[in-house]
Chains A and B, each alone.
Chain A
Amino acid sequence: MTTQRDKETVAPARYHLRLFVADDEPNSRQAKETLKRLCETCLKGNYTLEVVDVLEDYQAALENKILVAPTLIVLAPPPPITIIGSLSDTHKVLEALGLPASEKNL
């Protein structure tokens, strides 16, 4: 068991992000744009990003217990993290993702 888990963590961390938005309302649009930029600059080639429109698919929101939009769930690496809001405070987002904040990122 222990050896198996060790092997997994040895493998390069891959970020799995799921962003819940409410159509194209301003906060959601801003979150989408900010997240894409951060991914490109910090996680290039090392992430998967899903964008779910809760107004289209309420079941997905229900399953993930999403009450507000935008909500970003970082499914991997574990443990899962929830970040809500337009992601305008990028310091907080990077901190939550465990990434160093630098001039380049912001």
Chain B
Amino acid sequence: MTKNNVGGIPSGYEMRVALKKTPTYIQGLDNVLEGGLPTRRTTLIIGDPGSGKTVMSIEFLYRGALHGEPGIFLGFEESAATLRENALTLGWDLAALERDNRLFIMEGRLSPEAVISGKFSLKPMLAVISGKAKEMGARRIVLDALDVLLQLLFDDPAQVRAELHLLNHWLAESGLTAIMTLRPQQGASEATFQHFFHSIADCVIILDTRVLNQVSIRRLRVIKYRGSSFGRNEYPYVITETGIRTIPITVFELKHQPFGEEISSGIPRLDALLNGGYYRASCVLLAGEPGTGKTLLASTFVRQVCSQGEKVLYLSMEESPEALVRNVTSAGIDLEPFRKAGTLHFFGAMPEATGAEEHLLRLMSEVERIQPQHVVVDAISACERMGGKQAAFEFLMRLLNFLKERGITTIFTNQTSGSKAQLEISGNGISSMLDTVILISYVQGEGETNRVIQVLKSRGAGHSNQVREFIIRDDGLHIQDAYIGPSGVLTGTARRVQEARDAFEARRREAEIQAKFREIARLRAALETGTARFSTRLEAAEAELAELERERDIERAEREVRARARGEEVGDGAPPSQQESQSEVRR
């Protein structure tokens, strides 16, 4: 037919038709399924009791009905009344849809007193749903827990097979997009029809509920999808107040927003260390031992941005919002006005209350509702209590990804412990996702404990990696130049002692220089009177003066180099000099 005859294959025999898909309209699930369930075909959902397969299939019908695709629910386990009640808890008014003829619920339950005598077939069931489907123009159908009926009725494998063939044929003819739900195979007796179900389904979804570290975790996995690609990972899902929600695959797609402009951390000297401040849409980790002031540092930032009218969502996992607001007032930080004004929202959550997924999805819903520019998670170390290290890691990765996609600045605090701080800094292995890392630690000395702060990482900007003293006062947080002497960083009293010692040393040397000047002046005067023997002493004194001045200049130069390296303003620095008088004398 055409001249495009590639590779010797006769043209006219190749045609590619994309598989038609029917969206489930369930949050995230269509992403995993790359569009939805196969249209006019059968999908199998396999899951233990309580895994949410009924909820998922009802949601498929409910959302379909809302999108103009009427559906039929044929349930073999629950009564229609129970089903309607359960759906109402998720905000779905099934009865209203039934009244509008957009949904039909049929109870496929037999009276337990029914007497069985001889063979039978499922033809009436199919006749009923055929009739109903035609009457209401149904596009979707769910057969919920068909295995319950099969087990109850048929003890002859051959008969089960025959009925399933009948069913399969009927489904193919009906043109409905179908979901059948099943429990996982219980024993060898079910092998026959389980196998058959698998063979007639074009798509198979496994729902798995497991308990890990006392926290239940739900996972969804697509194991088969004829004629389509699909996300092959295990995806967490939860049953929220509004239905099923799965977390889509985009985690590693990195569709992150680029960093925005710099925003002040709320402490000018910290901004200087960061070469300007935090970046919008970046992720900042504030790490430190308990009590070092991570929450205060985060709150200082919150105050800074909230006072500019920007919105913050604060996830507090270690203390209640009330306690947090009260506690930070000790450092002169008053968050209450922002809370009242609606710029600061708290999300209080006990990490162990639910699984990580549920926390994540709730948090995501909150972010979507509040639309904050910044999110604080205090502290990510508490996330492990949601179900272990892996759960915490996934929670944080997914959360961070979600926030970065929306260009939201994220502040994490992380509690580290003692000497292992450096190892733990990366925080649950998410280090590659962090843009800025600030470490606050304790230093011991001179009978007191002080805090020091250090920027360990700052992506996209130069930064100082000098250690500074971090001081919490009742008027806020302050950063002081830490004294860096030969024995390391000195803070607090030790810093002040060392500074005093240095000043004393500088004064002593200056006094010595002045003394030499005076001696030289005397010698000059003596020389002028004609006493030649003073000339050698004058030369010696001048040499000594030159040496003293050289020492002083070296010391001053070193000080300036250190100061510049720390980013301080270099000026007439520490030793109170007498340059003016000095030069006068010299002249």
A residues near B, CB below 8 A? 20, 22-23, 25, 27, 30-31, 54-55, 58-59, 61-62, 65-71, 81-90, 92-93, 96
Given contacts A58-B127, A58-B130, contact A68 B120 (CB under 8 A): yes
Chain B residues with CB under 8 A of A22:
121, 123-124, 127
Chain A residues with CB under 8 A of B107:
65
5 tightest CB-CB pairs across the interface, nearest first? A86-B118, A85-B118, A58-B131, A88-B118, A22-B123
Q: Is A67's CB under 8 angstroms from B111's CB?
A: no
What separation, in Å, do the CA atoms of A54 and B122 have in the docked complex?
11
Q: Is B119's CB under 8 angstroms from A58's CB?
A: no
Name the residue of chain B whose CB is nearest to the CB of A52.
B124
Q: Is B108's CB under 8 angstroms from A86's CB?
A: no
Given contacts A54-B128, A58-B132, A68-B153, contact A83 B120 (CB under 8 A): no
CB of A39 to closest CB in B, whole Å: 15
Chain A residues with CB under 8 A of B120:
27, 68-71, 84-86
What separation, in Å, do the CA atoms of A96 and B122 have in the docked complex?
23
CB of B185 to closest CB in A, whole Å: 23
Q: Is B122's CB under 8 angstroms from A68's CB?
A: yes
Q: Is A89's CB under 8 angstroms from B117's CB?
A: yes
> Which residues in chain B, 268-303, are within 8 Å of chain A measured between CB atoms?
none
What separation, in Å, do the CA atoms of A58 and B118 have in the docked complex?
23
Given contacts A27-B121, A68-B153, contact A85 B116 (CB under 8 A): yes
What separation, in Å, do the CA atoms of A84 and B568 have in the docked complex?
93
What separation, in Å, do the CA atoms of A84 and B140 have in the docked complex?
29
Name the residue of chain A whose CB is nearest to the CB of B153.
A68
14 pairs of residues in contact across A and B, judged by CB atoms under 8 Å: A25-B123, A54-B127, A61-B127, A62-B128, A68-B122, A68-B124, A69-B120, A70-B120, A71-B120, A83-B115, A83-B116, A83-B117, A84-B115, A84-B120
Chain A residues with CB under 8 A of B153:
68, 84
What separation, in Å, do the CA atoms of A21 and B117 have in the docked complex?
14
Chain A residues with CB under 8 A of B116:
83-85, 92
Q: Is A25's CB under 8 angstroms from B128's CB?
A: no
Chain A residues with CB under 8 A of B122:
67-68
Q: Is B118's CB under 8 angstroms from A27's CB?
A: yes
> Which residues in chain B, 148-188, are within 8 Å of chain A measured between CB atoms?
149, 153
B residues near A, CB below 8 A? 106-108, 110-111, 113-125, 127-128, 130-132, 149, 153
Name the residue of chain A whose CB is nearest to the CB of B130.
A58
CB of A63 to closest CB in B, whole Å: 10
What separation, in Å, do the CA atoms of A54 and B127 have in the docked complex?
7
Q: Is A92's CB under 8 angstroms from B117's CB?
A: yes
Given contacts A62-B132, A81-B113, A82-B113, contact A67 B125 (CB under 8 A): yes
Q: Is B119's CB under 8 angstroms from A86's CB?
A: yes
Chain B residues with CB under 8 A of A92:
115-117
Name the residue of chain B whose CB is nearest to the CB of A85.
B118
Chain B residues with CB under 8 A of A67:
108, 110, 122, 124-125, 128, 149
Task: Give the residue of A54, A81, A82 whose beta carbon is less than 8 angstroms from that of B123.
Answer: A54
What separation, in Å, do the CA atoms of A86 and B119 have in the docked complex?
5
What separation, in Å, do the CA atoms of A83 and B114 have in the docked complex?
5
Q: Is A82's CB under 8 angstroms from B117's CB?
A: no
What separation, in Å, do the CA atoms of A25 and B166 have in the docked complex?
13
What separation, in Å, do the CA atoms of A87 and B116 have in the docked complex?
8
4 additional A-B residue pairs with CB within 8 Å, beyond A85-B116, A92-B117: A61-B127, A69-B123, A70-B120, A93-B115
What separation, in Å, do the CA atoms of A30 and B117 have in the docked complex?
12
Chain A residues with CB under 8 A of B118:
27, 30-31, 85-89
Interface centre among A20, A27, A65, A88 (most CB of B within 10 A): A65
CB of B558 to closest CB in A, whole Å: 94
Chain B residues with CB under 8 A of A59:
131
Chain B residues with CB under 8 A of A90:
117
Chain B residues with CB under 8 A of A62:
106, 128, 131-132
What separation, in Å, do the CA atoms of A9 and B132 have in the docked complex?
40
Q: Is A88's CB under 8 angstroms from B124's CB?
A: no
Chain B residues with CB under 8 A of A84:
110, 114-117, 120, 153
Interface centre among B113, B114, B117, B130 (most CB of A within 10 A): B117
Q: Is A81's CB under 8 angstroms from B115's CB?
A: yes
Q: Is A58's CB under 8 angstroms from B117's CB?
A: no
Given contacts A61-B128, A67-B149, contact A55 B117 (CB under 8 A): no
What separation, in Å, do the CA atoms of A61 and B130 have in the docked complex?
12
What separation, in Å, do the CA atoms of A92 and B116 have in the docked complex?
8
Chain B residues with CB under 8 A of A31:
118
Q: Is B111's CB under 8 angstroms from A82's CB?
A: yes
Interface centre among B108, B113, B118, B125 (most CB of A within 10 A): B118
Name the residue of chain A whose CB is nearest to the CB of B104.
A62
CB of B261 to closest CB in A, whole Å: 66
CB of B263 to closest CB in A, whole Å: 65
Q: Is B114's CB under 8 angstroms from A82's CB?
A: yes
Chain B residues with CB under 8 A of A81:
113, 115
Chain B residues with CB under 8 A of A87:
117-118
Chain A residues with CB under 8 A of B125:
67-68
Name the residue of chain A whose CB is nearest to the CB of B125.
A67
Name the residue of chain B whose CB is nearest to the CB of A96.
B115
CB of A43 to closest CB in B, whole Å: 17
Chain B residues with CB under 8 A of A89:
117-118
Chain B residues with CB under 8 A of A69:
120-121, 123-124
Name the residue of chain B whose CB is nearest to the CB of A94.
B117
CB of B154 to closest CB in A, whole Å: 10
Task: Give the residue of A30, A66, A96 whose beta carbon is less than 8 angstroms from that of B124.
Answer: A66
What separation, in Å, do the CA atoms of A52 and B130 have in the docked complex?
17
Name the residue of chain B whose CB is nearest to the CB of A58.
B131
What separation, in Å, do the CA atoms of A89 and B543 have in the docked complex?
130
Chain B residues with CB under 8 A of A68:
110, 120-125, 153
Q: Is A85's CB under 8 angstroms from B121's CB?
A: no
Q: Is B127's CB under 8 angstroms from A88's CB?
A: no
